[in-house]
Amino acid sequence: KLFADANRSTTTKLVGKIATVRTSSVSTDFGEVSVDDGGAGLILKARSVGDDRFVRGERVVIFEKSSSDDTWRVMSEKEYVGR
Residue 28 confidence (pLDDT) above 80: yes
Q: What percent of the chain is predicted at pLDDT more than 90?
A: 73
Strand-pair partners of 74: 62
What's the one-letter identity of residue 47? R
Residue 17 confidence (pLDDT) above 70: yes
Give the DSSP H/E element, type plus range, for residue 42. strand 42-47
| Whole-angstrom distance, CA of residue 25 vs CA of residue 37 | 22
Q: With a threshold of 0.95, does the pTM exceed it?
A: no
Q: How many residues does the chain have?
A: 83
Query: So what's the pLDDT on residue 83?
Result: 64
Residue 56 confidence (pLDDT) above 60: yes
Contact 60, 40 (CB under 8 A): no
- CA distances for 49 relative to 6, 8, 36, 39, 74, angstroms: 26, 22, 23, 29, 7
Contact 54, 22 (CB under 8 A): no
Strand-pair partners of 18: 61
Provide the pLDDT confidence category of residue 82 given band limits of 50, 70 and 90.
confident
Provide the pLDDT confidence category of residue 9 given band limits of 50, 70 and 90.
low
